Amino acid sequence: MNTKQYFCLLAVLFLGTQTSALAAETLPSKIADTATQSKALMISVGQYSEDISGFAVKKWLTQKSSLGFSPNYKTEFENTSYCPVSKIFCDFTKKANDYNHIKLSSEPFLDKASIKSYVEDLARKINHDPIDAKFAVTDGKVSTFAEAQDGITLDVEKSTQTIASALSLVTFPNKLELNYDSKKPELNYSDVNNVGISSLIGEGTSNFKGSPANRIHNIKVATDRYNGILIKPGEEFSFVDVLGEVDGEHGYLPELVIKNNVTEPEFGGGICQVSTTAFRAAIYSGLKITARKNHAYPVSYYNPQGMDSTVYVPRPDLRFINNTPGYILIQTKIVGTVLTFDFYGTDDGRKTSIDGPSITERQPDGALKASFTQHVLDKDGKELINDVFNSAYNSPYKYPHPGGPVLSVKPSNWSDEEWKNYKKMLKDMAKTTQ
């Protein structure tokens, strides 16, 4: 094969490849004329639906320009030596007269990348895991107050092709049902009599008297997240997992939280009132605690000290295992300033007793240590749990906040260095509030 034949072969292969790539996306002219009209389209996924304007549909159909040789077309290009591909290919494959027949063509084609981008955004909006039915206990009987919901996962690839195929029709439909996978929840209303909920097995309470308005608001928002939750036998419950995101979009307001050695405003301040109450309910229900951390310093809202549980997304978390033979149903309520968590389940005859909490050490600056023990015996008197919960709290003065109490005299148990750092922190806080 000589050099000219070699370049001719390359040119043919190159031009053929370009033509095939374009043809894969090109719409016939009759279809394009119909599709590019401002025609709205309704997209539905299960029970969800939304309208796409004709203008948005038209953005999925674009024009693509191409250059080629047409023997019956007299070119409008002033530069008749122009080559639509590499110049060397034209020199070997085209005659000089061919340059008088260069034609610029514009053809409509589907922008599948834009369609896929839309489907991906839609998936992020509607995809969700299945939601179990929520139950309530009324007059000693279990009833439902929130129906179960199927989970939905949109099939992005198939849905993209569904839209593209519809737009390729001479008359595309007004409504399209996209492809998705559905997953059933584990518990439906029909299961209400099969979950083993027959009695109150434990209760936890706390009092948030004196809380500011934002803190009370956040307590109520978070408490609602747990009302009606079911915990399966053997399941490890995670307070943080059920809580979800904590921000303004999820209904929370800024309030004081303990963070980075200071007490400062942040969305969700007050949620620890809820986790503390849930912790107490789990303790008195005789459940096995697998993760719990006390607060950095003693907070009056959580009296008696030693039975609190701090949480912060994602850690620390409050976790415990349902070690009973049946499901546990969480019921929450707020009466005045008293928050209550009731745990309903199957009474398997276990006996739970608590020793404490008691203060084991107290310092002049307010730091202290506390402890209590959880004893759980089964119906035959065999020990199931014997866990000791020790809590060590720092001085509240080491976590100052604007408007909070301050020390004027160095506590006897502080070093000179601690006192120096404390005074510096107060000065820094004063600067930030000016």
Give the pLDDT confidence score for residue 102 in this predicted structure: 59
- Under a CB-based contact definition with an 8 Å cutoff, are residues 372 and 358 in contact? yes
- Under a CB-based contact definition with an 8 Å cutoff, are residues 112 and 163 in contact? no
Give the pLDDT confidence score for residue 376 in this predicted structure: 98
Structure tokens at 393: 């709290």
- Contacts of residue 392, defined as CB under 8 A and 6 or more positions apart, other chains included, come to 294, 369
For residue 93, how many other CB atoms are within 10 A of its CB?
19
Query: What is the number of alpha carbons within 13 Å of residue 187 lying toward its C-beta?
Result: 22
Give the pLDDT confidence score for residue 98 in this predicted structure: 58
> Three-state DSSP class for 319?
strand
Residue located via tokens 């199931």:
384
- Under a CB-based contact definition with an 8 Å cutoff, are residues 344 and 201 in contact? yes
- Mean pLDDT per 10-residue run, the chain (434 residues)? 44 40 45 54 90 85 63 58 59 56 64 91 90 73 74 92 83 86 77 74 96 93 92 95 90 77 75 97 98 94 96 94 94 96 94 97 94 97 97 91 82 90 82 60
Entry pTM: 0.64
> Measured between alpha carbons, how far is 400 from 424 in angstroms, rounded to an integer?
11
Is the backbone of residue 333 left (phi > 0), alpha (psi -120 to 50) or beta?
A: beta
CA dist list (Å): 119 to 44, 350, 421: 12, 53, 55
DSSP 41-101: EEEEETTEEEEE-HHHHHHTEEEEEEEEE-TT-----S-TT--SS-HHHHHHH--GGGGGG
| 260 DSSP 8-state letter | T
Give the pLDDT confidence score for residue 14 in this predicted structure: 42
- Contacts of residue 4, defined as CB under 8 A and 6 or more positions apart, other chains included, come to 92
Give the pLDDT confidence score for residue 424 in this predicted structure: 86
- Under a CB-based contact definition with an 8 Å cutoff, are residues 133 and 146 in contact? yes
CA dist list (Å): 171 to 36, 63, 66, 339, 399: 11, 19, 26, 61, 69
In terms of Cα–Cα distance, which of 177, 183, 182 is closest to 49?
177
